[in-house]
Amino acid sequence: MTRESLFLALALVGLAAFLLWERRERARFFAGLQQTRAEVERVAAVVQALQDQVARNLERTLQLLQGQDQALAQRLTSVQGLVADLRERLGRVEEISRRVGAVAEDLAGLQDLLRGPKARGAFGEWVLSELLAEVLPRGRFQEQYRFRDGSVVDAAIFLEGGIVPVDAKFPIAGFEELRRAPTPEERQRLKKNLLRTAQRHVDTIAQKYIKPEEGTTDFALMYIPAEGVFLELLLPEGDLDFLAYAWNKRVFPCSPNSFYSYLRALSLGLKGWELARDVERVVRELQAAEQGLAQALEEFDTLGGHLRNAQRKWDEVARKFREVHVRLSQVAQKEAR
């Protein structure tokens, strides 16, 4: 065999080995390309799913915000109506105050008609019932409320923080004697008797009706059905200070006027509490929407990571394509020579 033949044989063997290696590399390359294509399609599917989910979340959020906007608009309309109603009721309060004042002026004559203790008690309970029904919603109070031990209070006002007991059995018989006292000395004696009687009634109220273990507040109201009696009790006599004594026992005396003012303040407070509760619910729903948006942002970050990985894989495949292209170009140039 000549030297040229040997060289040609070696060239043919090298070409065959190169073609075999090229075929194997091409198969590996196309397999990697198919894998990359499958990964890109999977990422595209994930991206599309995330886009659909984000679109749904944004649509739900928009609907929620629109609904809350409508709810807030309705609440504002309700508040405006409440303000108008409040103005109207303030006018009625003024009128009722004048009427109560007139009743207080005529109360001395009315007492002559209500000399019996039962009649006086029934009249006081009737006025108390009318005041409660005038100001508070029906579900916010109950007359003749019974405790577990069997004791019954004339009325109970239901607040969010507890039950406020209201007693209306104040004995005003001593006040009639005080009004008819013939001398200053007799008046002083009767005034002290009236104050001591009122203090004993305070002790009874504190003992029977202030029951935090049954959900009551730590105070009670003592309804005094006559402005004249209430004003007489406010004035101390010697060392007898009824108002300080009652407050120390957590029993708060109320006249018809002051009790009505207290009920009005409670009514406005209850309406404000209900409005605040609705606003709190709206805030909770907005916070839930904010959490949904935060979750969507996290999914967007995950999607960005997938896209960056796909970009790196693409760059790697493109580099391999360029390397193969260079090698094929070199082989073609050698064959041409």
Compute the average pLDDT of residues 275-279. Answer: 53
Pick the closest to residue 194 from 145, 248, 231 (CA basis).
Answer: 231
Q: Which of 85-89, 116-120, 141-145, 305-309 has the lowest mean pLDDT?
A: 116-120
Compute the average pLDDT of residues 275-288. Answer: 55
Give the separation between CA 153 and CA 336, rounded to whole angstroms. 117
Q: Which of 200-204, 280-284, 330-334 has the lowest mean pLDDT?
A: 280-284
Tokens standing for residue 275 = 């409005």
Compute the average pLDDT of residues 228-232. Answer: 85
Tokens standing for residue 302 = 């995950």
User: Over 50: is that where the pLDDT of 114 sits?
Assistant: no
Spatial contact of 131 and 103, defined as CB atoms under 8 Å apart: no
**pTM for the predicted model, two decimal places:** 0.48
Give the separation between CA 150 and CA 148, rounded to whole angstroms. 5
pLDDT bin (cut points 50, 70, 90) of residue 18 is low
Could you tell me how far CA 221 lies from the centroid of its own chain?
A: 29
